[in-house]
Amino acid sequence: MPQYQHIPGGENTRYLLGDGKFRFDCHSGVVCFTRCCHNADMYLYPYDIIRLKDCLGLTSEEFLAQHTITAFRDNPYFPQVMLKMSEKPGQPCSFLSQSGCRVYGDRPYSCRAYPLEPAFFGDDNRISVNCYLIRHGHCLGHLEEQEWTALQWIRDQEMEDYHEVNARWAQIDSLFRQNPFGEKPLESPALKMAYMASYNMDTFRRFVFDSSFLSRYEVPPRRLEAVRNSDTELLLMGFDWILRFVGGQGPLKERQIGG
Ligand code: SF4
Ligand code: SF4
């Protein structure tokens, strides 16, 4: 039997699911339908932002300005991007319409994953994921009959599309948690550059193609072509760049002077 971990001050529980099964369903017939789309305290991951801004036809700058706030949360050294709720009564998510989520096909990873909380481990060659099961006290979906394994839920919610990028992000996030930005992270130019390369693909794209970036770093032609055509490829190269200029490691090589 799994051991429930009670989160202090609430009726929420969290336990490592492993190979176990869980009961859950979320549909318009549950009494709490869209309850969790109000006043949500939700992180957005870098790939969420690409999917959402493309879905909404916005630039990354517009999306960040209109739909997000930044805050230092569980990592005191690097700001996190949170989905901004609307100011209407009950603070519904801006993407909630009468017929449900209007960005459903590109909804954030956290919206897909609940009630799972995946944790990534492994290396670039083999990514593994281990899932916690979260039960929020207000969520009646846990009383439904439908039964799932973690893998079944991951497939049903099309979460695998996110896993390569989110696993790479977990590596970058872990680097940021070691405070590579010095005594005053907020004043660090390296933090500002890392933030751009993580969240703002429009600015980062201009930085890559309109600055001296390509004369300083070796980017193989095929990769460069992929980066030109895809924000996701640009983001993955941004992660490599962060590993190099913040962590002093990783596959992106600096050009030799005169080379
Ligand atoms: S993005 Fe969609 S599913 Fe997620 S909180 Fe907003 S309305 Fe709900
Ligand atoms: S609270 Fe649970 S069951 Fe209700 S809408 Fe949210 S995820 Fe679905």
**Is the pLDDT score of 4 beyond 50?**
no
100, two tokens: 């449900």
Q: Identify the pLDDT of residue 258.
A: 59
Q: What is the pLDDT of residues 40-92, one digit of tens each?
A: 999 999 999 999 999 999 999 999 999 999 999 889 999 999 999 999 999 99
**Is the pLDDT score of 132 beyond 70?**
yes
Confidence of residue 110 (pLDDT cuts 50, 70, 90): very high
- 195: CB partners within 8 A, 6+ apart: 78, 79
Q: How far is CA 37 from CA 67, 91, 93, in A?
A: 14, 9, 6
Confidence of residue 120 (pLDDT cuts 50, 70, 90): confident
Q: Identify the pLDDT of residue 165.
A: 95
| 51 Cα–ligand 2 center, Å | 22
Confidence of residue 187 (pLDDT cuts 50, 70, 90): confident
Q: Identify the pLDDT of residue 1.
A: 34
What average pLDDT is seen over the chain? 92
User: Contact, 70 vs 63, CB < 8 A?
Assistant: no
Atom index in ligand 1 nearest the CA of residue 107 equals 1
| 34 Cα–ligand 2 center, Å | 6
Give the closest ligand to the alpha carbon of residue 34.
2
Least confident segment among 9-18, 137-146, 157-166, 183-192: 9-18
Cα distance between residue 180 and residue 145, in whole Å: 47
Atom index in ligand 2 nearest the CA of residue 141 equals 3
Find the mean pLDDT for residues 131-153.
95
Q: Identify the pLDDT of residue 90.
A: 94
Find the mean pLDDT for residues 243-250.
94
Cα distance between residue 106 and residue 49, in whole Å: 10
SS3 238: helix
Closest CA relative to residue 175, chosen from 117, 110, 245, 229? 245
Confidence of residue 124 (pLDDT cuts 50, 70, 90): low
Closest CA relative to residue 136, chosen from 225, 222, 2, 26? 26
Q: Identify the pLDDT of residue 182.
A: 85
**Residue 82 forms beta bridges with which residues?**
43, 69
Q: Identify the pLDDT of residue 125.
A: 65
Find the mean pLDDT for residues 155-165.
95
> In this structure, how many other beta carbons lie within 10 angstroms of the beta carbon of residue 248?
8
| 243 Cα–ligand 2 center, Å | 38
- Taking every pair of Cα atoms in the chain, the longest distance, rounded to a whole number of angstroms, is 67
Nearest CA to ligand 2 atom 5: 33
Report H helices in the chain: 46-56, 60-67, 109-113, 150-156, 160-176, 189-199, 201-210, 213-216, 221-229, 231-245
Length of the chain: 259
Strand pairing report for 5-6 and 13-16: antiparallel
Cα distance between residue 227 and residue 67, in whole Å: 25
Confidence of residue 3 (pLDDT cuts 50, 70, 90): very low
pTM of the model: 0.92
162, two tokens: 């996110």
SS3 15: strand
**Is the pLDDT score of 2 beyond 50?**
no
Find the mean pLDDT for residues 224-245.
98
Q: Is the CB of 111 under 6 A from ligand 1?
A: yes
**Residue 28 forms beta bridges with which residues?**
none
**Is the pLDDT score of 7 beyond 50?**
no
203, two tokens: 């600015």
Q: Identify the pLDDT of residue 193.
A: 97
Find the mean pLDDT for residues 198-219.
97
Cα distance between residue 15 and residue 134, in whole Å: 7
